[in-house]
Amino acid sequence: MTILEIVRAKIKDAAITELDIQLAIDEVQMVIKNYCSIDEVPEELKYTWANMAADLVLYQYASNNSSDDVLSDIDVGDVSNIKIGDTQIALQGNNSERGKILKSHRPNLDQIVMNNKEQLNRFRRMVW
């Protein structure tokens, strides 16, 4: 079974495309290689890799389609005005082009990697 097939089996949402899944698989692969300082992801990390990719896809899908919390949709780039005296902060909505671009670069992958740190540390190599 390939990584793509495993991730697709774990994700039941039809709205998530193959491209979204493949991008997550590729991104997680690079993170694993960089974290472990290896050239190829070993077969023993196949399911860890698939779980990390599924977590990333589901997290990105949920964060891009969630409108429950108003403050979660506000990025640092959305602050348009700050006044120190009498404390005034003006926020733009996330409808701005900058807000949409910044939303795709949330540091969620680091959290996913750290949740799988025990499995990855077994394959980690020292680099000088």
Contact between 124 and 113 (Cβ < 8 Å)? no
Instruction: Give the model's pLDDT for residue 64.
Output: 75
- Rounded to a whole number of angstroms, the CA Rg of the chain reads 18
Instruction: Give the model's pLDDT for residue 104.
Output: 53
Q: Which residues pair with 114 in a beta bridge?
A: none
Both tokens assigned to 119: 């499995």
pLDDT tens digit string along 100-119? Answer: 555 555 556 777 777 888 88
Asked whether the predicted pLDDT for residue 27 surpasses 70, the reply is yes
Contact between 39 and 30 (Cβ < 8 Å)? no
Asked whether the predicted pLDDT for residue 1 surpasses 70, the reply is yes
Instruction: Give the model's pLDDT for residue 128.
Output: 75
**Torsion-angle region of 47 (φ positive above 0: left; ψ -120 to 50: alpha; else: beta):** alpha
Asked whether the predicted pLDDT for residue 73 surpasses 50, the reply is no
- Please state, rounded to an integer, the average pLDDT across all residues of the chain: 78
Asked whether the predicted pLDDT for residue 123 surpasses 80, the reply is yes
Query: How close are the terminal C-alpha atoms of the chain, in Å?
Result: 35
